[in-house]
Chains A and B, each alone.
Chain A
Amino acid sequence: DAKTTQPPSMDCAEGRAANLPCNHSTISGNEYVYWYRQIHSQGPQYIIHGLKNNETNEMASLIITEDRKSSTLILPHATLRDTAVYYCIVASGYSTLTFGKGTMLLVSP
């Protein structure tokens, strides 16, 4: 069963903000929202995670709606190197990560 729903692909111009949405309407109270990305032929890379508050780090910002049923990953100034598949995953601290199909983000010059 898919716990998250993401658009299969998105485009973004270099230098602009990339906003990647994720729906997780069945998220339970103890589950976090995690974002990973996978650049072609490499292992996934952790980006950010959150429970209910918005989070920001050096890579991205995570905006979680008040009802926690959806979230948005924001890359404030996308570069060509941000082209990757972005995975939104919901998981509690003691469960394994299940990867969906993710969103293929293509950043163009």
Chain B
Amino acid sequence: GAVVSQHPSRVICKSGTSVKIECRSLDFQATTMFWYRQFPKQSLMLMATSNEGSKATYEQGVEKDKFLINHASLTLSTLTVTSAHPEDSSFYICSASGQHLNYEKLFFGSGTQLSVL
């Protein structure tokens, strides 16, 4: 099946620094990418939806200036956590779908565990 690669898998950073997470679709063109956040023992919460070449749509309560999303190409989307704080520590997961929004074709990355000290 199609592969979504997410990098890094784990990152530890100091409070106040910025962290960039990459999400790549390796063998298909991802017109839409989704970013989720998951706190321990909780379910995935959608943060934002990004379409290639346009601004991301953020879910209510998600600060767009803090969580910068760039989807400049059909195979790459990035999430930058700016001025990270300990409460931003979480498991971040991206997913991607192909040209036709068919959820059989929604593939997820392996996730990034962010720990802010």
Taking beta carbons and an 8 Å cutoff, which residues of A are in contact with B? 32, 34, 38, 41-46, 49, 87, 91, 93-94, 96-102
Contacts and interface: CB of A to CB of B under 8 A. Distances in A.
Contact of B110 (A32, A43, A91): A43
Interface in B52-68: none
B110 to A, nearest CB: 5
Interface stretch (B11-19, B43-51, B75-83): B43-51
B103 A97 contact: yes
Nearest to A44: B108
Contact of A49 (B46, B103, B111): B103
Nearest to B36: A99
A68 B35 CA distance: 30
Given A98-B46, A100-B43, A42 B111 contact: yes
Contacts of A41: 91, 111, 113
A93 B97 CA distance: 12
A102 B101 contact: no
14 contacts: A38-B44, A41-B111, A43-B94, A43-B108, A43-B111, A45-B108, A87-B43, A93-B102, A94-B101, A96-B46, A97-B103, A99-B43, A99-B45, A102-B43
B93 A32 contact: no
Contacts of A99: 36, 43-45
